Amino acid sequence: MNDVLDRLAEVLESRKGADPDSSYVAKLYAKGLDAILKKVGEEATETVMAAKDGVPDKLVYEVADLWFHTLVLLAQQGLGPRQVLDELDRRFGLSGLTEKAGRQG
Ligand SMILES: N=c1c2ncn([C@@H]3O[C@H](COP(=O)(O)OP(=O)(O)OP(=O)(O)O)[C@@H](O)[C@H]3O)c2ncn1[C@@H]1O[C@H](COP(=O)(O)O)[C@@H](O)[C@H]1O
C-alpha cells in the first residue's frame, strides 16, 4: 500500500521544474507555499463536511484529495511520505512497548 505513496511522491518530485500549463502539480509549485496551504485547508474542510454528510464514498474521495495535497506540501518542503510513515511507525512501536509494559505491570 505504501508503494502507492512512494510512486506518487516520485511523480510529485518529477513535476518540479515542469511546465505549469501542462501539470496541476507544477502549477501549484509555481503558485508557491501559500497556495498549497490554501488547498490543504480547503480539502481539510471538505473532508469534515463529507464526514458530517455521512456518505462513505464521499469521505474517501475527500480524504484522497487531502492526502494528495499534503503530499504536494511535503514535496514542496523537500520532504516525502517516507518521513511521515517512519514517524507513525516510531509511534506504533512506542505504543506497542507501552501496551507490553502495561500488561507486565
Ligand atoms: N492524485 C492526484 C490528484 N488528486 C486531486 N487532484 C487535483 O486536485 C484538484 C482538487 O481540487 P478541487 O476539488 O478543489 O477542484 P478544483 O476546483 O478543480 O481545484 P482548483 O483548480 O481550484 O485548485 C483537482 O484539480 C484535481 O484534479 C489531483 N491531481 C493530480 N493527482 C496525481 O498527481 C499526478 C501528477 O499530476 P499532474 O501534475 O497534473 O500531471 C497525477 O498523475 C495524479 O496521479
Q: What is the DSSP string of 75-92?
A: HHTT--HHHHHHHHHHHH
Nearest protein CA to atom 29 of ligand 1, as residue = 24
User: How far apart are the C-alpha atoms of 40 and 47, rounded to whole Å?
Assistant: 10
Atom of ligand 1 at shortest range from CA of 42: 14
- Is position 103 within any domain? no
Using the predicted structure, report yes or no on whether residue 1 has a pLDDT greater than 90: no
Instruction: Give backbone dihedrals phi and psi of 32, rounded to 5 degrees, phi first.
Output: 100, 180
Q: What's the pLDDT band for 101 if we cut at 50, 70, 90?
A: low
Q: CATH number of the domain at 90, please.
A: 1.10.287.1080
- Is position 104 within any domain? no
> What are the pLDDT digits (tens) for 21-30?
999 999 999 9
> ipTM of this model?
0.90
Domain that holds residue 25: 4-98
Q: What angle do CA 98, 102, 104 make, to 5 degrees?
A: 120
> What are the pLDDT digits (tens) for 35-60?
999 999 999 999 999 999 999 999 99
What is the sign of the dihedral through the CA atoms of 62, 10, 24 and 75?
positive
User: Ligand 1 pocket: which of 3, 38, 68 to mutate (most atoms <8 Å of CB)?
Assistant: 68
Q: How many domains does the chain have?
A: 1
Using the predicted structure, report yes or no on whether residue 90 has a pLDDT greater than 60: yes
